[in-house]
Amino acid sequence: MARNLKVIVMLMLSLLLVSGSAYAESTQPYHFGFKKSRGGKLPSIAEEGFMAIMQKHEAVFLGDTTQKELYLTFDNGYENGYTAQILDVLKEKGVPAIFFVTGPYVKDQPELTKRMVSEGHLIGNHSWSHPDMSQISTGRMKEELEKVKQAVANLTGQQTMPYLRPPRGIFSDQVLAFSREQGYTSVFWSIAYRDWETNKQKGREFAYKSVMDQLHPGAVILLHSVSSDNAQALAQIIDDARGQGYEFKSLDRMTTKHYR
């Protein structure tokens, strides 16, 4: 009897260890990052350890890499006085974009939020309070996403919000799985640079070169709207990318996702 009890206890401990290991794997956080593109070649995203999780949950970071297409995305955590200028450039150039907004942004900038939608741009979910979603419960995650979606709907009439960008580019298997379950496609990027530090802006030419040096077919470009450099460089980036044969597309026209 004692021996049987010992066997049962050992089996239970084994099961706990296995389930604990599976849980740790599903919640392991990843920071989205890669070696940048150079000379029109694709960045190293396909070589990163999180690729299987990205593919499993159909996360987006590239369009059709056989076509010279670009997808322009902005993160709007707060307003720093440049979004109106960015919208002016997009309107003048006829370029679509998606703006990933937080709750405070929607509350503080209702007119700019409405303008994004009225001028044909998409609004994506960047969470209400910008937490590390790999460290919060699915219940809190749902609340973070639902509050943004509802606030934008109430303000603009946009009833659907299919795109999400996890705050800080931090995610886990669980985060992507739950986001997908809630109807979201998680959107990352294949072109970015350190543009969010408002006290370390380096000028229009730096922003221009940082983006243009990384151009490649199917690129999803991440820019932060708080950057004065981005606002000043955007028009030339658009003109010169088009001069190289690139077409700017809306994210909802992305038909092919590549994992390479």
Please list the active-site residues: 75, 224
125 in Cβ contact with 163 (< 8 Å):
yes
Amino acid at 195: D
Task: Report DSSP state, residue 205.
Answer: H
Q: Is residue 220 helix, strand or coil?
A: strand
Q: Is residue 26 helix, strand or coil?
A: helix
**Rounded distance between C-alpha atoms, residue 26 and residue 37, angstroms:** 29
- Our CA angle for 185, 190, 194, nearest 5°, is 110
Q: Is residue 167 helix, strand or coil?
A: helix
